[in-house]
């Protein structure tokens, strides 16, 4: 029977289970396993641990008489953050957010479309794969000075860098998603007379959605990193959170430095939480 063409075997329509279990480079369940606190005891322990670390650092810094320019007291950082500092940093936050969002929008759209197109042609996908890998693994931060020279002192060089950092991440994860073609579900759609586009929109895309969301999650974290890092290397005339980091550290203004890091950390957590809830809402059937 080995000479029987694959498409005539009896087992064709008995669909491979593995397709379902295929895991991308990022394990979705690992990313989503951080569950919300369930009980009062859990919340108390979480807050308790945070307080313990906070006051331990505070205690050490006070007790050792560490000067502020060496390490800021955590309380000073929070104080600075809570004072008019956040409003003075609003502009920097806005600039970084614009770079990040514009870059993510461009990069992820291109990445998503390319992933959807490339997975239709396995051969093209195969020869493109090494370049995608190079783009994923190369820190796009390295390109910022070059882009700055070529494109001037506006926001564009950083937007492009963010797009280059996040796009391939979205693409590689989305491609993993689009590759998990469930033949049974495609056959189902075809049996109802679905067009190629309908099969894409109603079967292939929803099947890929969990991986696409993972791609966005990872890609946006890379994007934020590149935006802030890019500003540290070569900020635009508009500045940004990364430029302020360099500024405050050069003046040894550690409480402001710490407060800026706090803003960036909150931004990062916010991005994670947003995509976590998007995943929960739109792809919970799998997680």
Partner 1 sequence: MYEAQTGSVHALENVSIDVQEGELVCILGPSGCGKTTLLWGMSGLHALTHGRVLLDGTPVTGPRPLEIGMVFQEANLLPWRNLRQNLEFPFEIKKRKADAERIVALLHQTGLEGFEKSYPRELSGGMQQRASIVRALAQDPAVLLMDEPFGALDAFTRDEMNLLLLRLWTETEKTIVFVTHNISEAIFLADRVVVMTPRPGRVAKIYDIGLPRPRTIEMTFEPSFIALVQEIKVAVESGGRHLLEVE
Write down the least CB distance from residue 207 to partner 1, Å: 8
Q: Which is nearer to partner 1, 36 or 193 (CB)?
A: 193
Among 3, 29, 33, 137, contact with partner 1 (rule: CB under 8 A): 3
Which part of the chain contacts partner 1 (CB under 8 A), choosing from 52-60, 76-84, 203-211, 219-227?
203-211
Among 18, 29, 35, 191, contact with partner 1 (rule: CB under 8 A): 191
Q: Is 22 in the site for partner 1 (CB under 8 A)?
A: no
Q: Is 4 in the site for partner 1 (CB under 8 A)?
A: yes
Q: Which is nearer to partner 1, 208 or 228 (CB)?
A: 208
Residues near 178 by beta carbon (within 8 Å), at least 6 away in sequence: 115, 116, 119, 204, 208
Q: Is 193 left (phi over 0), alpha (psi -120 to 50) or beta?
A: left
Among 202, 239, 249, 261, contact with partner 1 (rule: CB under 8 A): 202
Which part of the chain contacts partner 1 (CB under 8 A), choosing from 111-119, 187-195, 255-263, 271-279?
187-195
Q: Is 18 in the site for partner 1 (CB under 8 A)?
A: no
Q: Is 2 in the site for partner 1 (CB under 8 A)?
A: no
Write down the least CB distance from residue 179 to partner 1, Å: 18
Write down the least CB distance from residue 148 to partner 1, Å: 44
Write down the least CB distance from residue 211 to partner 1, Å: 13
Q: Is 130 in the site for partner 1 (CB under 8 A)?
A: no
Q: Which is nearer to partner 1, 13 or 130 (CB)?
A: 13
Contact positions vs partner 1 (CB under 8 A): 1, 3-5, 7-15, 184-185, 187-194, 198, 202-203, 206, 209, 282-283, 285-286
């Amino acid at each position: 029977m080995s000479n029987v063409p694959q498409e005539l075997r009896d087992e064709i329509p008995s669909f491979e289970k593995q397709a379902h279990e295929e895991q991308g480079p990022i394990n979705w369940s690992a990313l989503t396993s951080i569950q919300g606190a369930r009980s009062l005891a859990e919340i108390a322990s979480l807050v308790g641990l945070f307080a313990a670390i906070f006051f331990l650092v505070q205690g050490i810094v006070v007790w050792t008489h560490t000067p502020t320019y060496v390490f800021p007291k955590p309380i000073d950082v929070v104080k600075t953050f809570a004072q008019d500092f956040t409003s003075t940093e609003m502009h920097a936050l806005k600039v970084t957010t614009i770079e990040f969002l514009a870059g993510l929008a461009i990069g992820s759209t291109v990445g998503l479309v390319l992933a959807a197109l490339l997975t239709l042609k396995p051969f093209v996908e195969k020869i493109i794969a090494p370049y995608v890998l190079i783009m994923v693994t190369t820190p796009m931060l390295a390109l910022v000075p070059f882009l700055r020279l070529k494109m001037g002192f506006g926001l564009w060089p950083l937007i492009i860098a963010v797009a280059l950092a996040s796009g391939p991440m979205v693409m590689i994860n989305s491609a993993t998603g689009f590759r998990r073609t469930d033949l049974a579900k495609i056959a189902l759609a075809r049996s109802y007379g679905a067009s190629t586009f309908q099969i894409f929109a109603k079967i292939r895309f929803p099947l890929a959605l969990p991986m696409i969301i993972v791609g966005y999650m990872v890609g946006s974290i890379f994007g934020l990193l590149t935006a802030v890092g890019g500003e540290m290397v070569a900020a635009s005339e508009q500045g940004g959170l990364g430029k302020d980091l360099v500024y405050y550290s050069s003046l040894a203004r550690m409480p402001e430095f710490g407060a800026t890091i706090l803003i960036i950390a909150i931004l990062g957590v916010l991005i994670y939480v947003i995509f976590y809830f998007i995943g929960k809402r739109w792809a919970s059937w799998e997680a």
